[in-house]
Amino acid sequence: MSNLLAKKLKVAIVQITAGSNKQANLQHAKEFIVRAKQQEPQLDLVVLPECFNSPYSVTEFANYAEQIPSGESTQFLSQLAKELSIILVGGSIPESDQGKVYNTSVTFDRDGSIIGKHRKVHLFDIDIPGGITFKESITLTGGSKVTSINVPEFGTFGEGICYDIRFPELAQISARRDNAFAMIYPGAFNTVTGPLHWHLLARSRAVDNQLYTILASPSRNYDLNYHAYGHSLVVDPMGKIIAEAGEGEEIIFAELDPELLPSSRNGIPVTKQRRFDVYEDISTKVETSAL
């Protein structure tokens, strides 16, 4: 089991809009990541939003899908992480693998090496009368693994993508089994579900597991068919929002303090009070994998 957060971690969330031109989307992401590093030279970790290199559309996922690690987006992010010496959570991109398309996030270390890969487990298939209908399963295949990613200089964080946050099991497994200090969720909630549950779910996952939660959203753009909610945010282990974006394109920064993890867990010791004689500990039943 890895240690909890070993030292203070400086985080930036890049909230941007992706259009129809993949190369332009990659360059746009680079501009913001470089700007984040310039504004905070001691930056450790950068998180991009879900589908940062392509439109968020069931009719477009396959058109933008690429292989990992040979695809242009993966190679682009790897080089950028190395150039800037940052840990980079590459939001998510459509991934093509053996005839299937996945919604996949790739994480890179400071040398540009891949240290984690998460395929969205729970596909966003919803139908809210008078609200929104969206079915990712029309073109996407769901992943089949819980993802915990170890960063030797800091510790371990878990990852989910967007709709994954509604299912607490992923965070429970990463927190209990792998002693994760944070859950990171690139996600594109919309203007219907966002106001209802975005903040609620972020704070719930943080409080349930007494860890940090980081949500990275695309910016809101009414010129697109899908209207992202925005409001990228960072929540501490006590459920306090310590950084939040608005609706437009911007960068937000936060510092994760390692002292808050033991203090929250000692003050409200739910991690020691669970009754596995009454209910099952699911974290012992699942094998985690970063790749």
Active site residues: 50, 120, 162
Q: Which value, in Å, is the radius of gyration of the alpha carbons in the chain?
A: 18
Beta bridge partners of 102: 95
| Distance in Å from the first CA to the final CA of the chain | 18
Both tokens assigned to 172:
């429970």
Helix axes 193-209, 169-178, angle to 10 degrees: 20
* CA atoms of 148 and 138, how far apart (whole Å): 28
Length of the chain: 291
* CA atoms of 114 and 244, how far apart (whole Å): 28
Which run of H or E residues covers position 151? strand 147-151
Q: What three-state secondary structure class fits 246? A: coil
One-letter amino acid at 101 equals: V
* CA atoms of 122 and 144, how far apart (whole Å): 9
One-letter amino acid at 121 equals: V
